[in-house]
Amino acid sequence: MLLPRWQKKVEVILISSLANEEVYKLFFTPMDNLAQAIDYAKGKYGEDFQAYILPSGNTVLPQLV
């Protein structure tokens, strides 16, 4: 499976009302709430992980620089 270039460098966690199956199709990791997402990131990347939080991500078009 070919992934977008950015997907090889970052993991996107999505907190949404979308069904998990739909979120996986977008190559994102679904979570139910922010606390769950933070716990997941700490467990996977360690206590000092870095993250960007986009409260209204549907209104933002991110660009890798």
Please check whether residue 31 lies inside any domain of the structure. Answer: yes
Tell me the whole-structure pTM to 2 decimals.
0.77
Please check whether residue 18 lies inside any domain of the structure. Answer: yes
pLDDT of residue 35: 97
Rounded Cα distance between 1 and 3, Å, is 6
- Residue 9 pLDDT level (bands cut at 50, 70, 90): confident
Range of the domain at 39: 5-59
Please check whether residue 64 lies inside any domain of the structure. Answer: no
pLDDT of residue 27: 86
Identify which of 16, 12, 55, 52 has the alpha carbon closest to the alpha carbon of residue 32. Answer: 16
Please check whether residue 65 lies inside any domain of the structure. Answer: no
Per the structure, the count of domains in the chain is 1
Checking if the pLDDT of 29 tops 90, the result is yes
pLDDT of residue 24: 92
Please check whether residue 48 lies inside any domain of the structure. Answer: yes
Q: Can you give the length of the chain in residues?
A: 65
- Residue 16 pLDDT level (bands cut at 50, 70, 90): very high
Please check whether residue 15 lies inside any domain of the structure. Answer: yes
